[in-house]
């Protein structure tokens, strides 16, 4: 399948995961150690001491410096070595790479690639996750599968009926046509399924107070390689947003995935669900947290199986694509273009 896409921003963690302790995570095969300085800034350094390659994350923080756990080589937050044992002179070349980091929308984004290209690259937004008008539940599941399988999975709305039957899929969902659009200039893939007159699932009826049938939209917006947004809107049947774009009578759930390759065969599967209704209702939060995590784990189980299958398939095995794969195939094409850019 496609290769890693470098020179891109990736979600490395939730901001809440990084505190004043060393935190190790591998992104696109690069081992990185993270911590938050006393000033609250997130630092990301290559997780290998220049001396003998010992992981810095096995050491300890001393003020805002990392002390290597093996021989005591000490690095400041820029990655510059400021102390070595047994001598006063620190070699000039003693430094580890530091990674550009931006904290935004509750995520810690890290730039993987050539440092000087980071500034010019916009980071896609998921503003709801840090918006007080929304309530968010979230998590991260480790996936023992290549990230392309998760991209395929998320861009296809039809597997809901089969893999997630009883959770998010219904027969009506499976029967509704899907539209796929590719914005080649901005490298965004949009997949939509809009039901004008659908049955209201019990969860929505209970949490929104809507009675009767609904208008139900699911609009996917994938910003390759990392950020996936699913804008979900329900409203009483026939009720549309206002002409100015406001939507006072709609109920919105913003499902956000960050798809971050860990290695060639494993992926960090970040997921978050933000809603603009029943904000204080812990029962609704609990329902969304449990049901979305269940759905994610069903995908993890299936994709882990698929990864093992693919690894044992002979080179050049066949696939057979159909209409539902339009979004996934477009994503593969754009990821391939990005990887070779």
Footprint on this chain of a second copy (rule: CB under 8 A): 31, 48, 50-55, 58, 67-72, 84-87, 91, 93-94, 152, 156, 158-159, 161-163, 174, 177-178, 302, 305-306, 309-310, 313, 317-324
Cβ closer to a second copy: 45 or 50?
50
What pairing do the DSSP bridges indicate for beta strands 60-62 and 65-67?
A: antiparallel
Cβ closer to a second copy: 30 or 254?
30
Q: Whole-number minimum distance, CB 276 to a second copy, in Å?
A: 30
Q: Whole-number minimum distance, CB 238 to a second copy, in Å?
A: 26
Q: Whole-number minimum distance, CB 326 to a second copy, in Å?
A: 10
Q: Whole-number minimum distance, CB 217 to a second copy, in Å?
A: 18
What pairing do the DSSP bridges indicate for beta strands 179-183 and 74-75?
A: unpaired
- What gap in Å lies between CA 25 and CA 12, rounded to an integer? 7
Cβ closer to a second copy: 119 or 315?
315
Q: For the chain, first and last CA: distance in Å?
A: 16
- What gap in Å lies between CA 96 and CA 94, rounded to an integer? 7
Q: Whole-number minimum distance, CB 192 to a second copy, in Å?
A: 14
Q: Whole-number minimum distance, CB 133 to a second copy, in Å?
A: 35
Whose tokens are 């998590």? That residue is 139
Q: Whole-number minimum distance, CB 340 to a second copy, in Å?
A: 21
- What gap in Å lies between CA 300 and CA 304, rounded to an integer? 6
Q: Do the Cβ atoms of 269 and 300 come closer than 8 Å?
A: yes
Cβ closer to a second copy: 310 or 339?
310
Cβ closer to a second copy: 56 or 274?
56
- What gap in Å lies between CA 326 and CA 179, rounded to an integer? 9
Prior bond to 299 cis, omega within 30?
Answer: no
Q: Whole-number minimum distance, CB 134 to a second copy, in Å?
A: 31
Cβ closer to a second copy: 73 or 128?
73
Q: Do the Cβ atoms of 194 and 340 come closer than 8 Å?
A: no
- What gap in Å lies between CA 123 and CA 158, rounded to an integer? 29
Phi-psi region of 85 (alpha: psi -120 to 50; beta: other; left: phi over 0): beta
What pairing do the DSSP bridges indicate for beta strands 251-263 and 8-14?
A: unpaired
Question: What's the burial of 257, exposed, middle or buried (CB within 10 Å: 0-12/13-18/19+)?
Answer: buried
3-state secondary structure of 282: helix
Cβ closer to a second copy: 36 or 48?
48
Q: Whole-number minimum distance, CB 55 to a second copy, in Å?
A: 6
Q: Do the Cβ atoms of 307 and 145 come closer than 8 Å?
A: yes
Cβ closer to a second copy: 38 or 309?
309
Helices then strands, counting H and E runs in the chain, come out as 6, 17
Cβ closer to a second copy: 86 or 132?
86
């Amino acid at each position: 399948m496609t290769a890693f896409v470098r020179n891109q921003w990736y979600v490395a963690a939730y901001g809440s995961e990084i505190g004043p302790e060393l935190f190790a995570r591998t992104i696109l095969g690069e081992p990185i150690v993270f911590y938050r300085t006393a000033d609250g800034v997130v630092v990301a350094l290559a997780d290998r001491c220049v001396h003998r390659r010992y992981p810095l994350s096995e050491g300890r923080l001393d003020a805002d410096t990392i002390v290597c756990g093996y021989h005591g080589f000490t690095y400041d937050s820029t990655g510059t070595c400021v102390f070595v044992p047994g001598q006063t002179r620190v070699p000039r070349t003693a430094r580890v790479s530091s990674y550009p980091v931006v904290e935004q929308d509750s995520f810690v984004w890290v730039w993987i690639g050539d440092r000087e290209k980071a500034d010019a690259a916009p980071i896609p937004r998921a503003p709801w996750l840090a918006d007080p008008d929304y309530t968010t539940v979230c998590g991260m599941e480790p996936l023992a599968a290549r990230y392309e399988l998760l991209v395929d999975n998320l861009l296809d709305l039809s597997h809901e009926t089969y893999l997630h039957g009883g959770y998010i899929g219904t027969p009506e969902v499976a029967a509704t046509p899907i539209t796929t659009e590719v914005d080649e200039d901005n490298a965004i893939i949009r997949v939509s399924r809009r039901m004008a007159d659908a049955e209201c699932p019990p969860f929505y009826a209970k949490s929104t107070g809507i009675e009767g049938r609904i208008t139900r939209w699911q609009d996917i917006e994938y910003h390759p390689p990392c950020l996936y947004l699913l804008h979900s809107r329900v409203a009483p049947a026939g009720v549309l947003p206002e002409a100015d774009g406001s939507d006072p009578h709609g109920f919105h759930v913003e499902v956000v995935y960050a798809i971050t390759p860990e290695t060639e065969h494993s992926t960090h599967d970040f997921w978050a669900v933000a809603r603009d209704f029943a904000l204080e209702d812990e029962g609704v939060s609990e329902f969304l947290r449990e049901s979305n995590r269940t759905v994610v784990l069903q995908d993890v189980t299936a994709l882990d199986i698929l990864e093992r299958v693919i690894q044992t398939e002979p080179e050049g095995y066949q696939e057979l694509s159909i209409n539902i794969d339009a979004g996934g195939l477009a994503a593969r094409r754009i990821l391939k273009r990005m990887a070779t850019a």
